[in-house]
Chains A and B, each alone.
Chain A
Amino acid sequence: MSTTPHLSVRVRLPLDRFDLDVDIETTHRVTGIFGVSGSGKTTLLETVAGLRRGAKGTIRFGEEAWLDSSRRHWLPPERRGIGYVPQDSLLFPHLDVLENLRSGRGRALRGGHDFDRTLESVVRVLDIGALLGREVNTLSGGERQRVSLGRALCSGPSLLLLDEPLASLDVGMRRKVLPFLYRVQAEFALPMLVVSHNPVEVQALCEDLIVLREGHIIARGEPRTVLTRPEVFPLAEHEGFENILPGHLVETRSDASMVRIGHGADGPVVVVSRSHLAAGSRLLLGIPADEIMLALERPNGLSARNVVPAHVEEVQSIGDLRLITVRVPGGAPPLVVEVTADALAELHCEPGTDLFIIIKASAVTLYEDRSGEEG
């Protein structure tokens, strides 16, 4: 596997209410920038893209200098080799879907890419084959985002910049588009910078998360760990904190599906609402932190379908809330459980405690990759 080029962004840019002032070095393949709206995220992304002038400092990607204000050096956006996916898609209204996808063909060819092959795999991965002849103003929001993502991928970029890829979509549409983003992340070996205020999105996509508040970095690290920090959690909780775990489908019965958590064969199996996917398909599970219950002993006579043994790793206090990080067997990422201070006091749980987590089947959201679906 090739190493990801080094991205370094050290910029200062005066904005209306505060200065954007960041110093980011990353070699992670997918870096997220998280923050509430108005925190300077989009400005930062536009500065990296070369769409916003006036920043002082340096931006480097791999061997190239994109900005070096001390040397009065500024590389225009067309020479940065980026794939930019704005929040509102910005598909060219005078071109149809295929023409939009082909609008970066010249750059792709100059960069030595096999355009037709890229187009073919982009169309397959994003499942947009049926849309190619359509006028862009007839597309739904989710379709527009997929075409916009496809257009960027087809242009042969060396860095993908995503600005709130799911923000303009309603909840149902987000569930449909997120798996496509996840597939792009998995199938195209492209470094990505993702701006988002959606905890689900950043957990599903990012390896490294940077939290921005009023133009400054306030936290950075592995997404789940960062999102549960006391200074960050209130920002994430605004959207409802959801644990995002990888899994794969074991089997589907008449009324429900069984999903094994984690990539391995020894993760716990949970019952979820019925999926249309074939057995063995990979998917993402979303489990809201406040929908998980804790029990010190395996409960009897319970309507909830899933009781999974777990081990407490960490207990954090944020105001009246307690966040308990637990690990389930099988090497899956830890889960965060949100309980009140009173509830925790009764449980007497602390790092090291073994207990059970209880999850209702209906509380689990499946972020399914529907592109392989029949019919």
Chain B
Amino acid sequence: MTETTLEALKTTLMWASLSTVLVMIPGVMLAYVLARYDFAGKKAISTLFSLPLVLPPTAVGYLLLQLFATDGLFGSETLGFDLDVILTWKGVVIACSVMATPLVVRTARVSFEGVDPRYEDMARTLGHGRFITFINYTLPLAARGLLTAMILGFTRAVGEFGATIVLAGNIPGRTQTLSAAIYSAQQAGREDEANFLLGVALAVGFAAIFITEYLSQKQAAAGLTRR
């Protein structure tokens, strides 16, 4: 077991957590808007934010590479300063965030659609403005679905490989993630290490899906009694 492998494990969990936080706040807000309002271009926006789900991850990585290249839209020549994304940990977080976005937005949207908007009307007749209504009534009523969205986003970020490796590379000790470390260990014939990392990946994945299964069952039960 090399030190860089353990380092990869630790930093992966950190980067995935950071990506989840970055995606959750705007993702949940976008999901709410998509669930509650009708406006021109809604379908286009919804489709755009689902694209990473269907594109090859390496294509997404390559697109990000273009955007953050020196002469890209977010490059140093355009912005006037260097974001320092390519081949750094920031690149990992951005790649993971982009790849996790569709799962977060789609899952959160479904959970908001499951909240009867009349509860929000009710809260407003009791003197609460839109914001307080959203925080104190909509969010708690959608809480289980939102937690599921967060877990799915997190696991997607943990498992990210294709987009990350194109944008941030696979530099041991610097930008190497869990999935990249498995790839490297397998390629180099370090079987013990690959097996250990596989075990970790299995444990994280199993726990995540198990929790979402549990939550969706509870949500279904709550939905039944509510009707």
Contacts and interface: CB of A to CB of B under 8 A. Distances in A.
A86 interface: yes
A119 to B, nearest CB: 14
Contact of B124 (A77, A92, A151): A77
A78 B122 contact: no
Interface in A10-54: 49-51
Which residue of B122, B124, B225, B226 has the most chain A CB atoms within 10 A of its CB atom? B122
A110 B143 CA distance: 29
In the A-B complex, the 8 residue pairs with the smallest Cβ-Cβ separation, listed nearest first, are: A107-B127, A104-B126, A84-B125, A77-B124, A137-B225, A94-B140, A78-B124, A90-B122
Q: Is the interface of B mostly helix, strand, loop or mixed?
A: helix
Given A93-B222, A93-B226, A137-B225, A107 B126 contact: yes
Interface in A78-130: 78, 80-84, 86, 90, 92-94, 103-104, 106-108, 110
Interface residues of B, number: 19
A155 B121 contact: no
Given A92-B137, A93-B226, A86 B127 contact: no
Contact of B125 (A83, A92, A93, A106): A83
B127 A90 contact: no
B122 A106 contact: no
19 contacts: A51-B124, A76-B129, A77-B121, A77-B124, A78-B124, A78-B129, A84-B122, A84-B125, A86-B122, A90-B122, A93-B226, A94-B140, A94-B141, A94-B143, A103-B123, A103-B126, A106-B127, A108-B127, A137-B225
Interface in B137-162: 137, 140-141, 143
A104 B127 contact: yes
A155 B127 contact: yes
A108 B126 CA distance: 9
Which residue of B121, B124, B126 has the most chain A CB atoms within 10 A of its CB atom? B126
A155 B126 contact: yes
B183 interface: no
Interface string B39-56: 000000000000000000
B226 A76 contact: no
Interface string A62-82: 000000000000001110111
A113 B154 CA distance: 47
A76 B222 CA distance: 31
A179 B88 CA distance: 72
A223 to B, nearest CB: 26
B119 interface: yes
A96 to B, nearest CB: 13
A90 B140 CA distance: 15
A175 to B, nearest CB: 26
B90 interface: no
Contacts of A137: 225-226
B125 to A, nearest CB: 4
B128 A76 contact: no
Given A92-B119, A92-B137, A49 B225 contact: no
Interface string B77-107: 0000000000000000000000000000000
B226 A77 contact: no
A92 B129 contact: no
Contacts of A110: 127
B36 interface: no
Given A50-B124, A103-B126, A137-B225, 6 more contacts: A49-B125, A76-B129, A78-B125, A78-B126, A90-B119, A107-B128
B121 A51 contact: yes
B128 to A, nearest CB: 6
A51 B128 contact: no
